[in-house]
Every structure is written in C-alpha cells, then in structure tokens.
Amino acid sequence: MAHQHKRGIARTQTALLPAAVEDYVAAHSIVRVIDEYVNGLDMVALEFDKSVPAATGRPGYAPDDLLRLYLYGYWNRVRSSRRLEIECKRNLEAMWLMSQLAPDHKTIADFRRVNARAFQLMCAQFVQFLRGQKLVGGEAPVVAVDGSKFKASASKSSLVTAEQAAKQRQKIEQRIGQYLEQMDQADAQEDAEVEPSAERIEAALKRLRQRDQQLEQAQAELAAQGAGAKAKEERTPRVGLTDPDCVMLSGKGGATLAGYNVQQAVDAQHKLIVAHEVTTHANDRTSLEPMASQAQQVLGAAEMTVLADTGYMNGAQAQGCEAKGITPVVPMPEVPNTHGEAFYPKRMFSYDKTTDSYRCRAGEVLKRYKHDRTAETDYYWTRACAGCAHKARCTKSERRSIARSWYAEAAERAHERARGNATLMRLRSATAEHPFGNLKAILDGGFLLRTLPKVKGEMALGVLTYNLKRTLNILGIEQLMQKLRTHRTLISV
C-alpha cells in the first residue's frame, strides 16, 4: 500500500467543539497575565477617558477592555487599529480577552489617541509595582542611561527649511494658476461632459490651498524661531508639515531620519526600564542628569550610580549628578585635534589646580587670560610661544590657547571611574542596549501617532509592554500572576 500524506477531517463533518471560549485559551497563555494586570488597575485614578460611563446615550466600550486589546497587540507586534479590529473577530485569545467584543477600528484608534497621559501614569505605576517586588532599586542601585532614535510618522521630505517652504509655495502658486485656467476653459465650453473634470480640478485646488496654508504656517514658525533653542541644535532650522514636533536626526552610518530621540534609564539588576523620556534633542549631551535624577526619584535612592557612554559626557551634567548623590561613570570621547594631526593635542598640556595654569612640553606656564561666562569656559596661553622651539608642532597662530570648562574636574572624575572599571562599562552595554533592541521590535522601529504628547503616550505603552514581558521572563507566569493578585488585594484594602 502506498504511503499517503496526513490529512485533516472534512470541513463539513459535525464536531463536538468546546462550548466556551475559555476552553480554547491555555492556562499559561499571556492573555491571562494581561487580564490579571488590567483587573488590578483603577481606570479612574489613571485618568482614562470615559472611565465613568455617561448617564445618557448609547453605552460605550469600557476603557479596560480596550487597554487589554492594546497590550495584547503591542505584545504581539500588532499595533494597527484596523488589524486589531480583525484580531477581535478571528483570534481566539483576543476574543477571550475582549469577552467577544469587536469594536471598530476608529473606536480602537481613538482610545490610543486620547489616553496618552493615562498610558504614562500606568507605566510609572508599574515601575512602583516592580520596586515593591524588589525587582528594581535597592540601597545603592546601578542604572544605565542610553538613547536611541525612533522614526516619526513622517517622511524626511515633510521637514522643510525656510528656503524649501518658499520654493514649494512658488510651485503651488503656479499649479493653482494652471488649474484656474483649466476651469475657465471648462466654463467656456458649457458642456455637461466636463463637469466631472471640473469637480476633480476643484478637489485638486482645495488640496493645494491646504498645502499652501501649511507651508505659510511653517514659514511663520521658522521666522519666529530665529536663533531659538531648536535652531541652535540643528544647523538648518526645519519645521514638520506632517508631524510638527518631530526633528531631523542623524542615525547610524550618517543616515538621517525624521523622528524623536528616546532616552531611558535601565536598572542593572534585571534590565527593567525605570524611567524614560521622548525628546527632540539632536544628541544625548544634556540628558545625563535629567534621566539619572528621574530614575533616582522613581527608585527613592539616596545614592545611585549611573552608567553612560561617551555621548553623554558633559561636565556640567556630571557635576549636577554628583550634587544629588549620583555617581556618574562616563568615559570621555576621543576628541579630534582641532589644530591638526601635526600639532600637539590638548592632553599633552598638564593642568595644575593649585596655580590654575597649564604647563606645555617646553615647560612654559600657560596662565588664564579669559573668563567666558557665556561658554562657562576659561582660556589659557603664554607669551613665550613666539621664540619656542616647539611652536611649529604646537600652533600656526601667534600663541597656543587652551580651553578648560568650569566643570572639567567633574568630567575627569566621571572619566576616571569609567577608565578604571572595565566591568562597569561592559555592564552598561549589556544593560542599556538590551531594552532598546526589544522596544525597536515592539514599536517596529517607529511611531504611528503624531505630535510629542501622543508619541510620549505610545512610547509609554511600548515601555510597559517591555517591562511586563521582562517581568514574566524573570518570575514565570504563575508567580507573576500571584504577585499581581496580592498587589491588587493590598491596594483594595
């Protein structure tokens, strides 16, 4: 007898299937964790929209049900409201989680759009749950700070400069003129057959005028920026037409993207995110103290160690951390020699704190000649450069000038801690980079929502999903669910 392939039963055959959806969901399914977690939330206290049912009108969907759906979606990398609508009708786990409710995609999308703040409060509350379970924090916690660029829901071409806005408006003006001529020709023909064409022209004109209005607003904003903070961070100020809050950022390999700079502070104990922030900063240089301070407050730690890479080296930030009982461990980047490779780098000049002066290779003393309050920097030089035998290797100018930040000592201390402890630097890499790899997967590398407040809410949803997943991996499903039940009982009491 010839071998045959394995085949299923006939689709028309009558079967005695389980009568309840409960029977289709495994005892250790992640939907049970999500359900247990959401059951313990106070939706009113977390400020979820429509937490209190309206006294009149058609009953709406409960926010806790929609939250369950979103957590399940982000857990499984299904973020689109249309795809979530489909999951409610075909996915047994989603049907169980939603008690077989199937909201339309607009209802699903609106819930995420209006509850940005609630997501942030919920994310912060879960970190406190982790702290209560002693999964983060402790007497002297170690936290790693890192940043990563996430793509906005906008293209690079939607970020325009003043010059680009002017050129686009000029082209739009020409197009509008062409369409108006076509409409005049259509009016002259007085033919019913040209009516559909005239309608299309009217629709095109409406779109062009809307675009022109956007560009006009962009020009006004760019003019108002002047030499503002945003203009200082970018070489060429830009305004987003699609997402007005996103900025042009430099990614890996020199590539650019329209997006946001996401900062996070990760507890080294279990790689759980204890603090995060969505920013529009072009780099990480001003983020060390804010992120470390936020993590310190969340963990309630009097003393804390913060680890960061060279992108965070900033003397003022390091000194600010030290003043709060936070020990920064940050290596200095390799500083290019601005005087050229043929000239002595700054490290070959030794600083003497007692005399507030530098000494060069020739043994000459460089004294302070300038105290710049704006740059918070002192400058040093010597008159002995003119006849020095080393001048050809030192500078092309009349004198070699050395700049020293007012916060140089704090920067040097942070660098020495990093240089003297390779183990901490390896810990930084292992701690900070792991969550971002997962977040990139959860958010598929970018945001779906636009404007900073909504993007912050979406990131909070992503961070909560990561922390919940990570906690499940640490504790296991049975222990996590038990702790969630116990936590809920303690709160209700």
- Non-local (6+) Cβ contacts of 20 within 8 A are none
Neighbours of 350 (CB within 10 A): 10
Pairwise CA distance, residues 54 & 59, whole Å:
7
Rounded CA-CA distance 271/278 in Å is 19
Long-range contact set of residues 368-377: C-beta below 8 Å, sequence gap at least 24: 376/316, 376/405, 376/406, 376/407, 377/403, 377/404, 377/405, 377/406
Q: How far is CA 9 from the centre of its chain?
A: 50
Torsion of CA 109, 279, 41, 134, to 10 degrees: 150
The confidence score (pLDDT) of residue 232 equals 47
Tokens representing 102 are: 């199937």
- pLDDT at position 222: 78
Pair type for strands 256-267 and 272-279: antiparallel
pLDDT at 227: 44
Nearest by Cα to 169 from 219, 206, 127: 219
Give the residue among 226, 222, 210 at the shortest CA–CA distance from 169. 210
Tokens of 240: 């987003």
Cα atoms in the Cβ-side hemisphere of radius 13 Å centred on 75: 20
**Contacts of 77 by beta carbon, 8 Å cutoff, 6+ apart:** 441, 442, 444
Provide the residue-wise pLDDT of the chain in tens; the chain has 493 residues.
567 787 777 878 877 777 788 998 999 999 999 999 999 999 999 999 999 988 888 889 999 999 999 999 999 999 999 999 999 999 999 999 999 999 999 999 999 999 999 999 999 999 999 999 999 998 999 999 999 999 999 998 888 887 877 787 778 878 877 777 777 666 666 555 555 576 777 777 788 788 777 777 777 887 877 644 444 444 578 888 889 999 999 877 778 999 999 999 999 999 999 999 999 999 999 999 999 999 999 999 999 999 999 999 999 999 999 999 999 999 998 766 655 567 888 889 999 999 999 999 999 999 999 999 999 999 999 999 988 999 988 988 899 999 999 999 999 999 999 998 999 999 999 999 999 999 999 999 799 999 999 999 999 999 999 999 999 999 999 999 999 999 876 555 3
* pLDDT at position 341: 67
